[in-house]
Each structure stands twice: as structure tokens, then as C-alpha cells.
Structure 1
Amino acid sequence: MEIQQRSEDVIATIRAMNRCWTEGWHEDEFRQYLHSDVVAIVPTTPGRLEGQDAYVAGWRGFCEAAEILV
């Protein structure tokens, strides 16, 4: 697969993932993009978010608190 096609695939995946939270909260769809052992460090939470449930809970909280303008 050539670089251009890989780049387009990555961009399409990121856009699809972003739609899971910018067009309403679609948790089941959002989860499909995450590894079960995902780890994140975010500015609003001390320490690390470890595991899919913790990561999703963080995004859910963000979506509930934020006003998303599309």
C-alpha cells in the first residue's frame, strides 16, 4: 500500500472516530477504535487513565461538560 493511501486511511479513521463524539455521544462506536489496554495522560486528571473503561469514561465526561460546535 502506498503512503498516500495509508495517509488517507488514517485521516478517514480519525474523522470517523471524531464523529463518535462530535455528533452526539456514540460510546459503542467510539470503543471500537480503542485498544482494550489503552493508556492516556490528560491534563485534567492526575496520573494515568488505564484501560478502555477509564479512557471512555474520561471522554464521556468531556462530552457531557463541553459544548461542541460543529
Structure 2
Amino acid sequence: MALSMEEQRILTQIEVRLSEDDPRLAQRLSRLGRARTSRRVRVIAAIVVTAVVVLAAAAGAAIAAMA
């Protein structure tokens, strides 16, 4: 769900104030978001690789059964 312009403006103000009030916390929260995204990408990549391996094995078994 997209934020309205007003909500986006308020969120930006909150981020700026947090960075000014507690820069260490702002930095830690920023890293947390990146780590979650990175982990999600790795999980998706692992699922895709597993699916390809399973499909290749199934295709190999089907070809062997025909011979």
C-alpha cells in the first residue's frame, strides 16, 4: 500500500529527527532493513536453485525411463 504525500512527508520528518537525536540507533535500524532484504534474496535464490535441480533430476529420470 503506497503512502500518501502527507504520510511520506511525516515519515521523512521522523527519520530526520531520529538521525539527529540518536544517530547510532538510526544507523542500526538502517542496517537491519538491508540485512532483511539481503536474507530474503538469498532465500529466494536457494529456492530457485533447488527447483532447477529437482526439475533437472525429473527430466533425467524421464529420459532414462524412455530408453
Give the TM-score, by structure 1 length: 0.32
Give the TM-score, by structure 2 length: 0.34
Larger Rg computed on CA atoms:
2
Bigger strand share:
1
Bigger helix share:
2
